[in-house]
Amino acid sequence: QRRTRESMSEAGVQSEVRLHTSQLGWRMWRNNVGVLKDERGVPVRYGLANDSSIINRHLKSGDLIGIRPVLITPDMVGTTIGQFVSIECKDRDWKPSLNDKRYLAQAAWVQLVRSLGGYAVIINNSDVLTWR
């Protein structure tokens, strides 16, 4: 498949990931994060891990949030649970940097989700995403 400028962008990677996860039976939703002022001028925060500017500085949730089915064994044989999923999409040329505060806050979110049994990744290519 030829890579176009669009497919190299974060939006292109995100579209590819959404298509792939849908084919796997996962359900993913866009997680917009930010703050806007209401009609009275009062800030209203939205998105996961964005309860305050302090929290948002240290934890940045993924672009896509969802659920994937996971078959549990052996004590709950045959039972399928929904596992929390967080996927942060980056453009194809992106590389992690310990000097990038945004990346460090995103990595902290990934660690938090994983520590509680969820599935979380930061990716720049759906081909490298670990699906299982």
CB 3 within 8 A of CB 9: no
Average pLDDT rounded to a whole number, residues 69-77? 83
Q: How high is the pLDDT of residue 132?
A: 46
Give the predicted TM-score (pTM) of the model.
Answer: 0.83
**Residues 80 and 71 sit within 8 Å (Cβ to Cβ):** yes
Per-residue pLDDT of 22-69, as tens digits, reads: 999 999 999 999 999 999 999 999 999 999 999 999 999 999 999 999
Amino acid (1-letter code) at residue 79: T
Among 118, 52, 128, 125, which residue's Cα sits nearest to residue 83? 118
Query: What pLDDT is attached to residue 77?
Result: 75
Query: How many angstroms separate the CA atoms of 116 and 102, rounded?
Result: 22
Question: What is the percentage of the chain residues whose pLDDT exceeds 70?
Answer: 89
